[in-house]
Amino acid sequence: MSEENLNQVNQNQNESSAESYSLQSTHQLIAHARTELGRVIAGQELVIEEVLIAILCQGHALLEGVPGIAKTIIVKALGKLIGLGFQRVQATPDLMPADILGTTILRPGSESFTFHAGPVFTDLLLVDEINRMPPRTQAALLECMEESQVTTDGQRRPLPKWFTVFATQNPVDFEGTYPLPEAQLDRFLLKIRVNYPSAAEELIILERHHAGSGFGLLEDIQFNTIPESLLEAARAEVRAIRIEPELYNYILALTRRTREWPTLTLGASPRAAISVMRVAQAAAAFEGRDYIVPDDVKRAFVPVLRHRVILKPEAELEGFDPDRVLTDVIAATPVPRA
C-alpha cells in the first residue's frame, strides 16, 4: 500500500473514531434500548427506532395502528426502561380536563385549598386512545405539549423538564371518537405507523406468552434502566449534529413544495420544517454520523409530515394517502449534490 493510501486510511479511521466519540452516549443509549425493548417487543424495529427518535428529540409522538399490535406495550416498556416518572391516561368520552391536569381541593379540617396534581405532572405520559377524548379535554393538552406548563386558577405550574407525550389511536374505529384538530396534531413531532408483525415475529409472540405469564409478561421483566445523565448527554449530542447550508435549503425546498402541491389543501408549516431538521439529526445518529445527509432528511420527511398535511377530497377519492403524496414530493425535489 502506498504512503498516500495509508495516510487516507488513517484519516478515515480518525474521522470514524471522532464521530463515534462525539456520539458515544447516543450509541450507548440506542444499543441498550434496542436490546432491552427487544426482550418484550418482537420485531417492530422501525417503530422502536422512531419512538427512540422522539425521546432523543424530546418531541411528542402519536402511534397509530389497529388494536392488539403492542402500541401501548411499546410505550409502557419505554417508560419502564428510561426510569423516569410514568403515568397513563385511558381516554374516554367523559374524561374532563381536571382529570388529567389536576384540580384545587379543600383541605380536610381547614379553610385553605391545595392543588392536587393530575397525571400530566410526570416525565412520560401515555394517552391511550387519544381520539376518544372529547375536544375540551384534547384542548387542555395543547398548553402542556407546547409550553410544558399547566395554568389553573390563574397560576402557572411548570411540568417536569423531561415531559413527553406518547398517544395512541385506532384508525379504523370511528364510533365514539373525536378526530384530533390540526392544531393538536401539529404538536406531535412524529406520527408513527404500527403495522402487523410478520409471521415469524408473531410466532415469537406466541412462544413468549406461552413461556411467560401471558399479558403480565412486561410486569415480570426487570429492565436495566437508562441513567438520566446518559439520556441528557445523548440529547445534547443529537442537537449538536452538524447541518451544512445545502441541507437547510433542501429541507426548506421539501416543506415549501408541499404548500403548492396540487393534491394538498394544507402544506407544511415552519414548525414542520424545524421538526424535519430535528428528526433528521436523530436519524443521522442512528447511522453513526455526526452530520446529516439528504437521506436523513428523506427518512424524517414522511413520519414528521404525514399528520400535518391535508389531502384534497378528490385526491382521497383517487386513492391517494399522505405517505404516497409525500413520497411524490421527495421524488420531485432536486437533491443537493455538494
Of 187, 203, 238, the domain-final residue: 238
User: What 3-state class would DSSP assign to 91?
Assistant: coil
Do residues 268 and 330 share a domain?
yes
Query: Region 267-277: what's the mean pLDDT?
Result: 94
What's the pTM value of the predicted model, to 2 decimals? 0.86
The one-letter amino acid code at 102 reads G
pLDDT given at position 55 = 93
Domain-located, residue 266? yes
Do residues 82 and 173 share a domain?
yes
Range of the domain at 187: 18-238
What would the pLDDT profile of 159-178 be if each residue is shown by its tens digit?
A: 998 899 999 998 876 677 88
Of 206, 238, 270, the domain-final residue: 238
Query: 298: domain CATH number?
Result: 1.10.8.80
Query: 37: domain CATH number?
Result: 3.40.50.300
Q: How does the average pLDDT of the chain come out, rounded?
A: 86
Do residues 200 and 328 share a domain?
no
Of 192, 223, 238, the domain-final residue: 238
Domain-located, residue 3? no
* Interatomic CA distance for residues 151 and 155, integer angstroms: 5
